[in-house]
Chain A
Amino acid sequence: MLGEPDGSEHDLHPEELLRGDHETAQEPLLPELLKKRLLVITGKGGVGKSTVTAGLALLASDLGKRVLVVEVDAKGDIASKFEHPPVGFVPVEVHPNVSVLAMDTEASLREYLRLNLRIPVVGRIGPIARVFDFVATAAPGVKEVLTIGKIAWEVRESIAGRAPWDLVIVDAAATGHVVAQLGAPDAIKDLVSVGPIRSQTEWMTDLLADPAITALNVVTTPEEMPVSETIDLVARARSELDVPLGAVFVNRVLPELFTRAEESAFEALSGEAVRSQLESELGLDLSDGVESVLSGARLAVTMRRSRAEHLSDLRAAVDLPMLYLPYLFTRSHGVRETRVVADALSAEFGL
């Protein structure tokens, strides 16, 4: 099965592989996603997780929502997508109604101790934090609980009206790590039979499990590894987590160049005789250029075709709503790109 795809697959037109039934069957589900309070966004490294997160945040703010974006890996990508310098653990508004905070487990521990255990830790957290860092590394789930705890706390406070957010969006860990992260509050119950951390994690589990509040979403691209990781993740999330799944965001989908009839015409155009006629019509000095243009279009068509096959694998294995985001032909990587993504999402949501 790993060799050349057989002829029947080639006969399927990319249009059919790509579109399928998603517009009719999944349409009603999608706007629901924006009514949740917590959207967790994961995906394989390099698929554009932060780009989609930023676009989603901008779209939600367009719709009048006050959004908090939590950046778990803290690389400063989200803020830069709004042309803002990197932020810390205290939320900073990087765009009207879009605030960003970067996760910091030490700061989260400090806050946790202050809020939950009434231990004031002022200033001298240094040595304790180093020891803590060590235990947290060793003790499975502690760092994860502090991460999830902070996120869940912001959501709980916002629902209670004590924090200003209508929606919290998490630029989460990559697919390999997110299950451990979201499962941490639950996993720690198995490891710790008694103790304060046990009772402290129960409310987090409840909040994460509530389909009216939380949705776990995956970003992918129509390529082999991202698709297989997405399929694995969805299966693992279903079997190991009590967290509702939201949607799959398929990023960098190449445009459909041709309908079936047009594709036949394009094939004919590339034939030797036709091409030289075309070149002579345009004047001979352009013949190299015509060849470049035709091979460019051919590359776009074949790239899209191999991607369409991965996409059809994804659609066959994962029954979640899918949102398609185009490959962006833009110069910019900053807020301009975020705007284009937000607009594309808006169209996909049918808004």
Chain B
Amino acid sequence: MTAGSLDGVVASKEILIVCGSGGVGKTSIAAAIALGAASRVGGKVLVITIDPAKQLASALGLEEIGNSESRVPDSAFKEAGLTPRGELWVAMLDMKESWDSLVLRHAPDAETASKILNNSLYDNITSRFVQSHDYIAMERLFEIHATGTYDLIVIDTPPTRNALDFLEAPHRMAEFFGGRLLRWLTAPYRAGGGRGARLVNFASKPFYQVADRILGTQFLQDIAEFFLNFQSMYDGFVARAQVVERLLHDRRTTFLVVTTLESAPLREAEIFCGELTKREFPCGALITNKTLPESFTAEAGAEAGAALIANAHRLAEVLAETGVEALADSAIDERVLRTVGESFGNFSVVAAREAELRVELQAWIEGELVNVPSLDADIHDLSGLAEIADHLFT
């Protein structure tokens, strides 16, 4: 099987959206792609991460920086034995800060903005809003792309329970603000003259009847008041959500789906790739991450493993005579030889299954199928990311 690579994708696209279910290594892959692009292709490359592991953040020099972009120094490249051809920039997505600036931009006046920002429901709502994290990520992507500062932007997507959520995010955000439901909920207030008005038709509508039974009148009023203010941002939000959605459909944008070869993430990745196709979003590559090295499926290895076990006793006696101190005890040597052979056999079972799955994936995937084997250590610096990049590019 020929190994796929991201060479073509990186050479032809401007925006790479890295997605996949939780725990598959999206963030490391996104960072490695950006590093690979900066050190192989050149230009200005930005990676936007969401919630990097501490060691990865430190590898990228991300400890001090916040929502704004900062450049990974050339010294970090040199320490890792790399020569940058271009510039690598990183930014971390701060949800709270991004939301605040969104409100400030779209609110009709400073008073409304401050009413929204100071409402006790604001934090709670923005952190749970219909796919709010997804929307914020897309919004920020748009904002940065529009500045024309970067040749390539790689964005890590938020951990969602459903990878599809952020495809829908701009649309849902627009729908949410334009929806009948929001009008319905806030209608009694607008009709009654805004703040403090009583819910005139309260008892007549089944919704209010039910909602009042569950939540209580006061709580409902608090919510409605908040949304009344929030709704003043409608036009700005909807217009923006539409442009953001167009950017996702642009031919310069492509999606990269990351998965491990475990059943649950793989199933999710398959569903996600199918949905991308259905919605006419381009899928540039499927990246299978944390797989076992192909050496475990080598025929020669299986033979050698079996031979080590079968001849363990005889070999151990030879080893004990070599004069190497650590090998002096032939009983220990024999156990080691057996263990080594058995361990290989164990991993081979898993590696064989993984190889089989990759063949199946190759049959239906439209873009490239790229494989990244498990690294035996954590990522401490750029060289760890460079090792991943070596598998992503040829």
A contact set with B: CB distance below 8 Å: 2-4, 44-47, 50, 73, 75, 77, 80, 113, 117, 119, 121, 127-128, 130-132, 134-135, 137-140, 142, 173-174, 176, 180, 191-198, 223-226, 228, 255, 257-258, 261-262, 264-269, 271, 273-274, 277-278, 281-282, 286, 288-290, 292-297, 299-300, 302-303, 306, 329-331, 333
Contact = CB atoms under 8 A, between A and B. Distances in A.
Nearest to A51: B264
Nearest to B266: A333
A134 B179 contact: yes
A265 B339 CA distance: 12
Q: Which 6 A-B pairs have the closest CB atoms?
A: A46-B23, A45-B22, A195-B216, A289-B304, A289-B300, A292-B301
Given A286-B303, A302-B377, A45 B23 contact: yes
B296 interface: yes
Most chain B CB atoms below 10 A, which of A4, A77, A119, A278: A278
Nearest to B63: A2
Contact of A293 (B124, B327, B340): B340
Contacts of A286: 300, 303-304, 307
Contact of B129 (A137, A197, A330): A137
Nearest to A49: B264
B298 A193 contact: no
A193 B212 CA distance: 13
Most chain A CB atoms below 10 A, which of B260, B304, B350: B304
B311 A282 contact: yes
Given A278-B319, A286-B307, A290-B308, A258 B55 contact: no
B300 A195 contact: no
13 contacts: A135-B211, A139-B219, A191-B219, A257-B343, A274-B319, A274-B322, A286-B304, A292-B300, A292-B344, A293-B304, A294-B340, A296-B343, A302-B376
A264 B260 CA distance: 34
A98 B83 CA distance: 58
A329 B347 contact: yes
Contact of B215 (A130, A197, A274): A197
A191 B313 CA distance: 72
Contact of B347 (A131, A142, A192, A296): A296
Most chain B CB atoms below 10 A, which of A73, A131, A198, A288: A131
A299 B219 contact: no
A2 B54 contact: yes
Contacts of A288: 298, 300-301, 304
B302 A289 contact: yes
Contacts of A290: 304, 308
A191 B222 CA distance: 10
A4 B377 CA distance: 11
Interface in B276-317: 293, 295-296, 298-305, 307-308, 311, 314-315
B226 to A, nearest CB: 8
A120 B318 CA distance: 83
B298 A267 contact: no
B8 to A, nearest CB: 29
Given A174-B22, A292-B295, A306-B378, 16 more contacts: A50-B264, A134-B179, A134-B185, A138-B121, A139-B223, A197-B216, A258-B339, A274-B324, A278-B318, A278-B319, A282-B307, A282-B308, A289-B307, A290-B304, A296-B293, A302-B377
A303 B376 contact: yes
A102 to B, nearest CB: 13
B298 A140 contact: no
Contacts of A331: 349, 353
Interface of B: 21-24, 53-55, 58, 121, 124-125, 128-130, 159, 161, 179, 181-182, 184-185, 206-207, 210-220, 223, 226-227, 260, 262-265, 268, 293, 295-296, 298-305, 307-308, 311, 314-315, 318-319, 322, 324-327, 329, 332-333, 335-337, 339-341, 343-344, 346-347, 349-350, 353, 374, 376-378, 380-381
Contacts of A50: 264
A174 B341 CA distance: 38
B21 A195 contact: no
Given A50-B264, A134-B185, A299 B336 contact: no
A273 B374 CA distance: 29
A173 B184 CA distance: 31
Given A137-B128, A140-B121, A278-B319, A196 B344 contact: no
A336 to B, nearest CB: 12
A281 B318 contact: yes
B353 A261 contact: no
B219 to A, nearest CB: 5
A134 B128 CA distance: 12
A240 to B, nearest CB: 14
A173 B128 CA distance: 14
A117 B210 CA distance: 10
B318 A289 contact: no
Contact of B21 (A46, A266, A271): A46
Nearest to B325: A268
B264 A195 contact: no
B336 A292 contact: no
B306 to A, nearest CB: 9
A202 B37 CA distance: 56
Contacts of A333: 262-263
Nearest to B216: A195
A238 to B, nearest CB: 21
B363 to A, nearest CB: 20
Given A265-B332, A296-B295, A4 B380 contact: yes
Contacts of B327: 265, 268-269, 274
